[in-house]
Amino acid sequence: MTTTPLRLGTRRSALALVQAGYVRDRLSALGHEVELVEITTKGDVSMAPLDTIGGTGVFVTALREALLDGRVDLAVHSLKDLPTAPADGLVLAAVPEREDPRDVLCARDGYKLSDLPVGARVGTGSPRREAQIRALGLGIEIVGLRGNVDTRLGKVADGTLDGVVLARAGLARLGRLDSVTEVLDPMQVLPAPGQGALGIECRAADTELVQTLGALDDPATRAAVTAERTLLAVLEAGCTAPVGAYAEAAEGESGLELYIRAVVAARDGSVSIRKSATGPLGGAEQIGRDLAHELLADGAGAVVDAAGPASKEE
């Protein structure tokens, strides 16, 4: 039993606090006292498009600074927000079991994506979602959107939008799955790398805490997100281009295997490059790297470059 409470840094949003509460409860079950320390990030205080306020890392930097200067002992992130480059002095100590990472549509009148009339207005803050929905050729108008879950759903309720696309994981954690009208098939819309997973960081020098947090790590989830994030890193997209990836662990002929699908798409939907790969669970990093090189060989680099400083996944 720890004598001094572990200080867990978290963003102040409702979803972030739920996620932090989950980590706190897991640690409490192991006999550790935990107190939440709320940290305001740049991404929380500005409603400007994410590309104009820094893109990748806007929800992470303040938490990492709090770790490095000793204000908190550990921090929990939505893993899709975490830059792929490692941070000096910090370690990703645990990746707990992942929530369902798929995207969902929350639309008026119970509509599914294919039921929406031509010209229907669908909101999303994600260039990845925008690119893949446009590629479906349904004639849907994509409207830029930021804000918390309630704000976004409110745009549908008040008639401003016909629907919004969100991550199922966030709605599940908030108890809002009743708003979902369709879970989007990854064959049509692949989620963001790391979507649905949490990342728990601490200082690398706190070896005892690193070991403690290791009890929360789920090896299958760790392998899946490692493949997805390695792919993203090799593409040098850094979450700034419309890139989707989804890896799953499944029983194969010789034990657990990792199956990953990925897409790099032009934001206007004019180009969509999709690839998949399978390999041993222990080779997650290599699988992600090899698949990224296959995408690059098919022209993904030009798509990434053309996307420029698009707003980061949200």
Same domain as 107, residue 30: no
Rounded distance between C-alpha atoms, residue 223 and residue 248, angstroms: 9
Report the C-alpha gap between 7 and 194 in whole angstroms. Answer: 24
| pLDDT tens-digit readout, 279-312 | 999 999 999 999 999 999 999 988 888 776 543 4
How many other C-beta atoms are found inside a 10 Å radius of the C-beta of residue 262?
Answer: 27
Indicate the average pLDDT of the chain.
90
Please check whether residue 310 lies inside any domain of the structure.
Answer: no
Asked if 206 and 125 sit in the same domain, the reply is no
**Structure tokens belonging to residue 175:** 């108890």
CA distance 268 to 240: 15
Statement: residue 238 has pLDDT above 90: no
Whether residue 312 lies inside any domain: the answer is no
Give the number of domains in the chain.
3
Catalytic: which of 25, 69, 73, 81?
A: 81
- Domain CATH number, residue 244: 3.30.160.40
Known catalytic membership, residue 109: no
162 in a structural domain: yes
Q: Give per-residue pLDDT as tens, 59-108.
A: 799 999 999 999 999 999 999 999 998 899 999 999 999 999 999 999 99
pTM above 0.85, yes or no: yes
